[in-house]
Each structure stands twice: as structure tokens, then as C-alpha cells.
Homo-oligomer: A and B are copies of this chain.
Amino acid sequence: MSKILRVNMDERTAAYEDGPEGYKLLAGRGLTSTMIHDEVDPTCHPLGPNNKLVFAPGIVTGTSAPSSGRVSVGAKSPLTGGIKESNAGSSWPQHVARLGLKAIVVEGQADGWWGVHVTKDGVEFFAADEYAGKSLYEIFPGLFERFGRKVGIAAIGVAGEHKMSMAGICFNDIDNRPSRYSGRGGLGAVMGSKGLKFIVVDGAGGPGVEIANKELFDKGRKKLADSMRSHDLTKPGGALNSYGTAVLVNIINEAGALPTRNFREGRFEGAAKISGEAMAEFCETRGGVGMMGHACHPGCIMKCSNVIPNPDGTEMASCIEYETTWALGANCGIDDLDVIGKLTQMCNDIGIDTIEAGDVIAVAMDAGLADFGDGEKAIEMLEAVRDGTPLGHILGQGTGFTAKAFGVVRSPDVKGQGMPAYEPRAIKGIGITYAISTMGADHTSGYTIAPEIAGVGGKVDQFDTDKAALVRAFQYTTAFIDTSGHCLFIAFPILDIASGFEGLVEECSGVLGVEWTGDDVTRIGKEILDKEIAFNRAAGLTPADDRIPEFMKYEKLPPHDVVWDVPDETLDAVFGEA
């Protein structure tokens, strides 16, 4: 049975344990949220000695299951004050899983900066002061040099050292760039508070993932892979593969739901210039290292990442996601993809979440610190974050915090976390999702955009407010997907293709030696949400925190001139707390 590895930063010791019997079927988000629920005092200070940081690969991570190189990272969030699970795609969790580890739990706090090197032979600590204060792009090559080109690296940048709530945890991509992020919720600050700069993992020689029922697993894997290869969004040469997630820019803009200039408008006149199509054109016309269809981890079918080239063909940034080009583009009134690329690269280099970064720049612009569209000022703001100036310490703490600092009422956040790239006033289901998510404003907690905009899993009216049941179903299913170790984008094929969904359940059942059905997906998802909600309630979050900001109730959003009009009762009904 796979082990839990506990890393104690107070003493710089490590210990392996079996974990309770009840954790046997848990992995990914199911495991991180359970451990945070079970072991962390909900009222503890997120950056104090009593918070813990849990890294867990999903159920099928480290196997040949498609698009399953996901890691969940859990802790009490310094951004939201509640529980946090933030996941990323990388080879890193595949290394962890191959070592027979179901989780790495970081506890306590060290003075100075440390790294941890985990191999089949055990755990070694190494002094990391020499890496502190430096850019991630600067230090990653040296780390791979030192520990081997095939290891996985989890790291924080200077923002995590500064203990900023927009600091993410960075993982290597397929080319060993520091570019894949558990970005949201300030988990990088939690890692920083522990004095931990890196976790280097080398899966070589590990026992690998035990698969209890190989036949069932293979059957499921094939069904799921087939569904991914046949769905228009996820298939090779499909929308995501060709244009990346930023294929959404024009679609969401057309729907009048692309938040523009700090959520003042729902349509951006420069949308086409920052879209996935524009990125593909850069890759084609500029050439060089530019490419769409890049994979964030080995074994991905969709390959929706990208490497965007400079005019001279050298690398500008990787990856510019839909959320990223929106956050640093439309939301700041910036329509120049080269500026967005520069900002993206800075975020990856500093170690911050691009969504939160775009939100705080836009709020600062709204506060009068710069004009909307001023790319140079936006770059200066990220430099302030990097350098830890007072302005950087404001922006670095996230959207709600930045708005409060400057007395800006138009703060597009829930529980302090900045909203992603979909306007709640124009797409009600995603607004309900932002409001009630245990994670703060988070589209990945239940991507209702699928039916509301993309017509995946049926089609519902974007303005319809009666969506408590829809949101609930997405919350539960997503919690399961986050537990399985798959990329959330398997949601597209499994919503539309029944055998794909069966394949997901069979894969997981095969690994664990159980016989789950679709009902178990909902049951397991609900169990996870129940624990997360219980943690948040004990931490002091209430239904009053499960709300869309007040200004959206009285400021009409162009072009549809809509306000937030979903009754509070609908919000409270999602998880039955009405």
C-alpha cells in the first residue's frame, strides 16, 4: 500500500507512514481536503506553525491513464481564510506516485530556506539560501543540473518567499520550464512560511502505482482515451489542441461575458488580438520555438498548452492560457499579445497566479494608479511584486486586499480571491459557482461554462438563474475528477460521451480494486465537499461569504446591461444550507 511521507520542517526530519485505513481509497483532492479537515485547526493562522501543506497525486496519476499527471495541493488558504485545493499538471506528481507515495505532507517551520530531495532511497534536506530571491527561470536549470534532468520539481518563487497570497506553487512542465502552477489561493505563501523552497522528486526505481485490477483499468483507460480522441474540443487537432484554452476569448466575448477593465464591461474591443487564434498565428508567422499543442505533462492527449514566440522566434512565454490572456489582457484593457506574454512570463518567474495578478492590476488601475491599457505600468506593478515594495505587498495579497487598500468598492472577488474570466452577471451558473465554491471565486470548482456557453452536456440559457442543481452536480463531479488525477478537461468528453464517463469510473476502480458506479462519483464528490464546507464553517466562513460582490447588484454590465440577480436562496440551496 502506498505511503504518506511527512516532512517536518522544525526538525528537518522525514517519516513514512501507512495512514489510517479510511484513507485507503483517497487521493488527489479527496486526500488533501480530508487531511486538512482532519489535521489542521480551521482557526489557525494560515502562515503560522499549525498549518500544513499536503501534496497528493490523483488515483490514476503515475499510470498510463490519459491526461492524468495532476497534483492536488491542499492547505488552509491565506487568501480566502478557508480550505484550499489547487491542482496542476506536471510530471512531478507522476514521480511522487511512482515512489509509492500517496501524499507528501509538510509540517512545521524552519528558519532560512531549505529544499527537500525525495528519491526511492529516502529524503534529504539541502540548504537553499543560495536560491532565495532569484527568478525561477534563473534557478530551474541549475536544479535540474544538480538533481538530474528527469526529476520533478515543485518550487516557490520570490512571491512565496514574501508570503504573498497570490503566490502559487510552481511545477516543471514537459520541457522542465517553471511554468505549471497550483496557482490559486496563496499556497506558495504557505510553502514559504515553512521555509521550504523546493521539493525535488525522482521517481526512478520506485515501485510504481499498484493497480489492483489491471483488466478493468485497461478497459476504462481505453474508453476514456477514445472519448477524448473523438470529442471536438479535446481530440488531436481539436479546438483545445489547435488554439489552446484561449480559443474561448472570442466565444466568451461574443457572449458578452468577457470581463473588461476590472469588470466594468462584458465585451472587449481588442478581444480578437489576444485570442487563441492570434496566438496560433504568432506561432505560425513568427515560427522559431513557438508552438501550439504543447503538453504540460507526459501522457496528455489534449495538449492544450503553448509556447508563444517573440517576433524573432525566441521564446516569449509558456503557457498563455485563456484565463491568463484575459486577466492580463482584457481585464486590464490591454490588447497587445506581446505585452501579455511579457506579463505572463513575469508571473511564472516570480511565482504568482496569473488570474490574481490580472485582477489586482485591474483593481489598481481602477483605483487610479494607472490607465487601463497601460502595459508599461502593468509591468512595473509586477516588478513591485517581485521586489517586495509596499505596492508589491498590496498587490501580492490579492484582489479583495488590493481593493480594500485603495478603498475601491468595485472588487471582483469572492472570499478575497479574484474572479476568473467569466462575468457572473452575464453567465449566472458560473456566478453561483464562484459564490458557493469552498475555494473562493473559482471556475475550476465546477465548470458550468460547458453547458452555459459551449453546449457541452446539454445547453442551458446563460441568463437563467435557476441553476442550483446544475451547479451542485458540477461541484460534486469536479471534486471526483480532481481526486482521480485527471485534467478537468476530461469533463468535456465524459459529459457528452457515456462510455468516456464509464471509462473514468472503471480506471479508478481498477487501480483501487473497487467496483464504483456513477453514483459513487456523486457520493465521493459530496463527501469531499462536505468536509471542505465543514472546515470553512469552523474557520468562520458563513453563507454571508458565499455571495457575489454587492456592486454587481447595482452596476449594470454592458453590453447586455445585466446585474447580478440570482436570489441568495438559490446560492444557499446549492449545498442545502438554505
Chain A residues with CB under 8 Å of chain B are 42-45, 47-50, 78, 162-165, 189, 192-193, 384, 389-391, 393-394, 397, 401, 404-407, 409, 537-545, 547, 549-551, 554
Asked if A406 and B393 sit within 8 Å, CB to CB, the answer is: yes
Contacts of A551 in B (CB 8 A): 45, 48
- Would you call A405 and B394 a contact (CB within 8 A)? yes
State A407–B189 Cα separation when bound (angstroms).
Answer: 9
Given contacts A50-B550, A544-B42, contact A394 B390 (CB under 8 A): yes
Q: Shortest beta-carbon distance, A143 to chain B, in Å?
A: 25
Q: Is the CB of A44 within 8 A of B550?
A: yes
Contact of A545 among B44, B540, B543 (CB under 8 A): B540
A116 and B165 CA atoms in complex are apart in Å by 42
16 contacting pairs across A/B (C-beta < 8 A): A43-B544, A47-B407, A48-B409, A49-B554, A50-B550, A78-B404, A163-B406, A384-B390, A389-B390, A390-B405, A405-B405, A537-B542, A538-B544, A540-B543, A540-B545, A542-B542
B residues near A391, Cβ cutoff 8 Å: 390
Residues from chain B with Cβ under 8 Å of A48 in the complex: 409, 550-551
Identity of the chain B residue whose Cβ is nearest the Cβ of A50 in the assembled complex = B550
Determine the distance from Cα of A401 to Cα of B164 in the docked complex, in whole angstroms: 13
Q: Which residues of B contact A545 (CB under 8 A)?
A: 540
A-B residue pairs, 7 tightest by C-beta: A163-B407, A540-B544, A390-B391, A390-B390, A393-B405, A540-B542, A48-B409
Q: Return chain B residues, CB-CB under 8 Å to A543.
A: 540
Which of B43, B78, B404 meets A397, CB within 8 Å? B404
A404 and B407 contacting across the interface, CB-CB below 8 Å:
no
Q: Which residues of B sit under 8 angstroms from A539, Cβ to Cβ? A: 544
Residues of B within 8 A of A394 (CB): 390, 393-394, 405
- CB closest residue in chain B, given A49: B554
CA distance A397 to B402 in the complex (A): 11
